[in-house]
């Protein structure tokens, strides 16, 4: 309890507290040592978690009656203190009395330590660090909604467990957060219990418990430090006087095709932990601004130079995130960083965080065109000759595989799409479905299907990805899919 709360309880004429029909009150137990001659008002709930046809009606009537009881004391000139476990305005029962009384009587609300803060302190684990986002969720939410929100946040606290525990645990599993989750029951009280949420018996969980998914930045940096054998003091040192890398590293991060929903939790953690963000200017612009971080944008045609720059930063002790659209290992920065590191920076740790590829994002919009064997080919001849592209296109077409074409065109490359279409038509029927996905997840997104023979090269630009079906790929209505089973050879 805060000093102010203790003062008010000791000076009160009346102390009120909520309790179930058994008469016990956690709030009263906490304040008991400060009680003396005050009049006590036990506000006993008519229902708690049991099923009833008119739950809300009975609860509303209860609060109206409870407010009237307290108003009688206040009208008589008595000072009333209402005890609230945690904080009165944080899922607290007091707020229902506040609505009914605060406009009639002078009111002071004294903030308290929430169960979320108490649970984090009990675990000894930060809730949020740097620019992370904490989401507080009631366990009574629909499981699908819980899953979505858990997957979309950095850190989370899930309240009101008890009978909701099984659904909450399921949502944590579905969102990929179960292994991170901790359980704390009656935080800061003598009966406190904590552990890994996955190991808790659902039948033992009371209402006054909370699930905590703590700071990923804290966990990531702590685990990395332990793995490297780095002391806390060494982690705070950015520059190594001998020029060798001690705490710095490079993480190549896949941002996905564009939407924040497509950014993986692992990628979000890596971005939050970085001191520097390095990448093509268009891609670094997609990283949420963080005043703590340095951002280094560059042109799209300097991959090796960008990799060396990032590795130099890491060698000086910086934690560097090199960002790529889609997956960094698919026609992107991972190979450039790993190659340069292998040649000139063997002392710098390099990690790669995968991302959702453009091909998979486009495919998902239209169905399942990549449901069988498929290949990915870049039509850019900037890093390889067109002869190589031609041979690979012909080989994939002859093998009757679905093919995803990256980098199909640009302002300086205007003829490659037509050339690729003509090669494919030597092996594919003109009616073969082609998915034309442009700016997927962006403001100008469009995904449409055309026949291979009707593909218009002039309508394809650098922001477009093409998926050309195999002989088995089917176009039914607005869906395109490639069956998993291949016809038996005759």
Tokens of 165: 């525990």
Q: What is the CATH number of domain 3-101?
A: 3.40.1010.10
Range(s) of the chain covered by CATH 3.30.950.10: 115-214, 360-481
Eight-state DSSP code of residue 46? S
Q: Does domain 360-481 have CATH number 3.30.950.10?
A: yes
**What is this structure's pTM?**
0.54
Q: Does domain 219-353 have CATH number 3.40.1010.10?
A: yes
Name which of 307, 331, 335, 332 is nearest 321 in CA terms.
Answer: 307
Range(s) of the chain covered by CATH 3.40.1010.10: 3-101, 219-353
Q: Strand pairing of 182-185 and 209-213?
A: antiparallel
| Per-position DSSP letters for 238-273, written without gaps between them | ---TTS--SS-EEEEEE-BSS-GGGS-HHHHHHHHH
The H-or-E segment that residue 159 falls in is strand 155-159
Per-residue pLDDT of the chain in tens (490 residues, 90 and over written 9): 899 999 999 999 999 999 988 878 889 999 999 999 999 999 998 876 655 677 788 889 999 999 999 999 999 999 999 999 989 999 888 999 999 999 999 999 999 999 999 999 999 888 888 778 899 999 999 999 999 999 888 899 999 898 999 999 999 999 989 988 999 998 888 888 999 999 999 999 988 899 999 987 766 655 555 555 543 333 333 333 344 444 689 999 999 988 877 888 889 888 988 999 999 998 999 888 877 889 999 887 788 999 999 999 999 999 999 999 999 999 999 999 999 999 999 999 999 999 999 999 999 999 999 999 999 999 998 889 999 999 999 999 999 999 999 999 888 888 999 999 999 999 999 999 999 999 898 888 999 999 999 999 999 998 899 999 999 999 999 999 999 998 875 4
Q: DSSP 3-state assignment of 278?
A: strand
CA distance 457 to 59: 66
At residue 234, φ and ψ (nearest 5 deg) are -65, -30
Q: Does domain 115-214 have CATH number 3.30.950.10?
A: yes
CA distance 271 to 292: 12
Q: List, in sequence order, every residue forming a beta bridge with 85; answer none if it has no partner.
A: none
CA distance 6 to 33: 10
Q: How many helices (H) and strands (E) are present in the chain, helices listed first?
A: 16, 21
């Amino acid at each position: 309890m805060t000093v102010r709360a203790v003062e008010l309880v000791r000076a009160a004429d009346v102390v009120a507290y909520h309790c179930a029909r058994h008469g016990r009150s956690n709030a009263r137990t906490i304040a008991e040592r400060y009680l003396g001659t005050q009049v006590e008002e036990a506000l006993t709930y008519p229902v708690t978690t049991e099923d009833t046809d008119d739950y809300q009606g009975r609860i509303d009537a209860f609060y109206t009656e409870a407010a009237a009881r307290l108003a009688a004391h206040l009208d008589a000139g008595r000072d009333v203190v209402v005890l609230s476990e945690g904080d009165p305005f944080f899922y607290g029962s007091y707020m229902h009395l506040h609505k009914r009384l605060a406009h009639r009587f002078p009111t002071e609300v004294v903030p308290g330590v929430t169960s979320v803060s108490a649970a984090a302190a009990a675990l000894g684990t930060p809730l949020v660090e740097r620019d992370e986002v904490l989401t507080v969720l009631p366990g009574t939410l629909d499981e699908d909604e819980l899953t979505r929100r858990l997957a979309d946040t950095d850190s989370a606290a899930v309240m009101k467990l008890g009978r909701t525990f099984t659904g909450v645990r399921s949502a944590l599993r579905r969102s990929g957060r179960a292994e991170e989750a901790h359980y704390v029951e009656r935080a800061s009280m003598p009966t406190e219990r904590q552990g890994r949420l996955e190991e808790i018996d659902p039948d033992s969980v009371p209402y006054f418990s909370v699930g905590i998914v703590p700071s990923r930045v804290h966990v990531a940096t702590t685990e990395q430090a332990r793995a490297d054998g780095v002391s806390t003091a060494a982690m705070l040192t950015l520059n190594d006087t001998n020029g060798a890398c001690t705490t710095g590293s490079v993480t190549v991060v896949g941002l996905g095709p564009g939407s924040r929903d497509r950014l993986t939790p692992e990628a979000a953690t890596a971005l939050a932990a970085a001191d520097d963000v390095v990448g093509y200017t268009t891609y670094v612009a997609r990283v949420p601004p963080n005043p703590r971080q340095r951002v280094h944008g560059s042109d799209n045609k300097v991959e090796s130079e960008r990799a060396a720059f990032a590795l130099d930063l890491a060698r000086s002790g910086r934690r560097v995130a090199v960002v790529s659209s889609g997956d960094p290992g698919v026609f992107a920065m991972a190979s450039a960083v790993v190659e340069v590191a292998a040649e000139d920076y063997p002392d710098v740790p390099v990690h790669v965080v995968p991302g959702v590829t453009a091909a998979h994002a486009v495919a998902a919009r239209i169905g399942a065109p990549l449901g069988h064997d498929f290949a990915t080919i870049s039509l850019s001849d900037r890093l390889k000759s067109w002869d190589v592209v031609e041979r690979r296109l012909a080989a994939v077409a002859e093998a009757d595989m679905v093919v995803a074409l990256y980098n199909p065109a640009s302002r300086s490359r205007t003829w490659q799409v037509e050339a690729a279409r003509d090669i494919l038509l030597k092996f594919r029927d003109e009616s073969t479905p082609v998915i034309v996905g442009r700016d997927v997840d962006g403001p100008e997104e469009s995904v449409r299907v055309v026949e291979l023979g009707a593909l218009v090269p002039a309508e394809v630009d650098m922001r477009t990805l093409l998926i050309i079906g195999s002989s088995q790929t089917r176009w039914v209505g607005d869906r395109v899919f490639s069956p998993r089973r291949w016809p038996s050879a005759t």
